[in-house]
Amino acid sequence: MTNYPLLNQVPPLQIGRRSGYRESLPPPLPIVLFGAGHVGRALVTLLGRLPCVVQWVDERDELFPDDVPANVQVEATDTPDAIVDCAPPGACFLVMTHNHALDFALAARIMRRRDFKYFGMIGSKTKRVKFERRLIERGVDPARMPEMTCPIGVDGIADKAPHAIALAVCAELLQMRCAPCVAQHPVQSESQCVERFTA
């Protein structure tokens, strides 16, 4: 039997046991998290308690803990940018790697898509300005720059400790959960992505 990745197994959630009452809830957020550093690990701990399914990506396999929440799928790969294309429509991309060059490669790959729900990247306002300029040079429409959230997390939290950043990011994700998707133009078919992850 084929084992599908968590991101392609997002079931509808419902509450209410009585036959005459059933309230539909938004489905769990599909999240692709790049980076298994201090902030990434703190974030996964919190995401494990939230209505989401997470694909956690880093090329450094030794950084992943032995135990992860049930809603988290670990992906150790040296081609993390290729995973962007396999994310389902409506995915939330979180970029917090240890390498600015990799951050930009991921940003450029993500901005090729028009169907993600959220794209957040850890970094300063200066980093954002530099990345915006380079993305525009790569052909990304300047009008789309607001689709990239950097710095990441809700406003008003100045603490830079990993768990504080993780809390700010989770709060922002919960705000985005009921927001409409940007568009519906997936880059790659689900069958192609399933083949990649199950080969």
Q: What is the pLDDT of residues 157-186, one digit of tens each?
A: 888 899 999 999 999 998 877 655 444 434
Q: Are 108 and 138 in contact (CB under 8 A)?
A: yes
Cα 41 to Cα 36: distance, rounded to the nearest angstrom: 6
| pLDDT mean over 112-128 | 95
What are the pLDDT digits (tens) for 85-116? 999 999 999 999 999 999 999 999 999 999 99
In degrees and rounded to multiples of 5, residue 92 shows phi and psi of -105, 125
Half-sphere exposure of 113 toward its Cβ, with a 13 Å CA cutoff? Answer: 30
Q: How far is CA 63 from the centre of its chain?
A: 18
- Select the more confidently predicted residue: 5 or 64: 64
**For the chain, what percentages of helix, strand and coil (3-state, to nearest 5) are there?**
40, 15, 45
Residue 82 has pLDDT above 60, yes or no: yes
pLDDT score at 21 = 44
pLDDT score at 183 = 42
Q: pLDDT class for 198, splitting at 50, 70, 90?
A: very low
Q: pLDDT class for 8, splitting at 50, 70, 90?
A: low
In degrees and rounded to multiples of 5, residue 93 shows phi and psi of -100, 130
What are the pLDDT digits (tens) for 29-60? 899 999 999 999 999 999 999 999 999 999 99
Q: pLDDT class for 197, splitting at 50, 70, 90?
A: very low
Residue 23 has pLDDT above 50, yes or no: yes
Please, what are the domains in the chain? 27-138+146-198 (3.40.50.720)
148: which residues sit within 8 A by CB, 6+ positions away?
107, 110, 111, 119, 120, 121, 128, 131, 132, 135
Cα 158 to Cα 151: distance, rounded to the nearest angstrom: 11
What are the pLDDT digits (tens) for 134-164? 999 999 999 999 999 999 999 888 888 999 9
Quote the tokens at residue 36.
């298994």
